[in-house]
């Protein structure tokens, strides 16, 4: 459906006001997708918008839980798994790391069972974020690496940028500022090319990582690493241990 696709595009472009309006103005079209499924999908998208835009997270949590219940009722495994990812990220932001991890492991199990590589890559990135939040940096890096191998195969550039950014955050913490900046430079060039800015919910982590990297490198070294990274070809990137 055209409206569904347009809403997804506007979300990727961080035009959340427009995306929300599209969903609200076309609720009948969503519901026409198939009753409960349409309702579940619209609730999921509204929750997604609230989360990414750093809106009312309590409301986002309520909406995504309702969406999950409806998707479970209709038995849509793929969207159950995507909803579990969103709920897991919200729970992590709310400090409920153990519950978040449980949601993401369930999502990973579903995507593995149905063989959907794109969804699996999303779940792995989300798991890496939760592991990083919990201080399990080596496990987080392993999750990013696994996601990266999938992303090279399916050529999803927006997810590739997110994976590079997340891995860059870990490398800064591990004292590998030059490599981190190179990954950030490449991610920035990808986002500029596909017109997909970093969602507001993740921007503070990005800013913190860049600030830390600048403290570790002089301006010349920072700019050189960023420029070199921005020119790197994706399939030449190795997310180092």
pLDDT of 5-49, one tens digit each?
788 889 988 998 888 888 877 666 666 656 677 788 889 999 999
Q: Report all structural domains of the chain as residue ranges with CATH numbers, in order of start.
A: 1-96 (1.25.40.10)
74 DSSP assignment: H
CA-to-CA dists, residue 158 to 29, 38, 190, 234, angstroms:
27, 26, 7, 12
Strands (E), the chain: none
- Mind listing the pLDDT tens digit for each residue in 194-205? 999 999 999 999
Question: 190: which DSSP letter?
Answer: H
C-alpha dist (Å) from residue 77 to 55, 91, 94, 113, 166: 27, 21, 25, 10, 27
Residue stretches of the chain with pLDDT short of 50: none
Residue pair 194/13 in contact (Cβ under 8 Å)? The answer is no
pLDDT of res. 236: 86
Give the position of tokens 């997340």. Answer: 166
How high is the pLDDT of residue 45?
A: 92
Write down the pTM of the prediction.
0.92
The owner of tokens 């430079």 is 185
Give every CB contact of residue 155 below 8 A, 6+ residues apart in sequence: none
- pLDDT attached to residue 7: 81
Contact (CB, 8 A) for 16 and 56: no
């Amino acid at each position: 459906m055209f409206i569904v696709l347009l809403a997804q595009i506007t979300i990727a472009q961080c035009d959340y006001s427009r995306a929300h309006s599209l969903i609200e103005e076309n609720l009948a079209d969503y519901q026409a997708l198939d009753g409960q499924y349409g309702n579940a999908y619209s609730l999921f998208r509204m929750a997604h918008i609230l989360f990414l835009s750093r809106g009312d997270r309590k409301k986002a949590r309520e909406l995504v839980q309702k969406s999950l219940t409806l998707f479970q009722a209709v038995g849509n495994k793929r969207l159950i798994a995507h909803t579990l990812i969103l709920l897991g990220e919200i729970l992590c932001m709310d400090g409920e790391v153990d519950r978040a991890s449980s949601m993401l492991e369930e999502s990973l199990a579903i995507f593995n069972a149905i063989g959907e590589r794109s969804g699996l890559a999303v779940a792995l990135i989300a798991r890496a974020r939760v592991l990083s939040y919990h201080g399990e940096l080596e496990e987080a890096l392993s999750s990013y690496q696994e996601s990266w191998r999938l992303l090279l195969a399916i050529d999803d550039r927006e997810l590739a940028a997110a994976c590079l950014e997340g891995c860059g955050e870990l490398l800064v913490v591990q004292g590998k500022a030059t490599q981190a900046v190179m990954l950030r430079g490449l991610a920035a060039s990808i986002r500029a090319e596909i017109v997909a800015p970093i969602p507001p919910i993740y921007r503070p982590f990005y800013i913190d990582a860049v600030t830390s990297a600048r403290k570790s490198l002089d301006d010349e070294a920072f700019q050189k690493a960023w420029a070199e990274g921005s020119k790197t070809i994706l399939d030449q990137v190795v997310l180092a241990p």
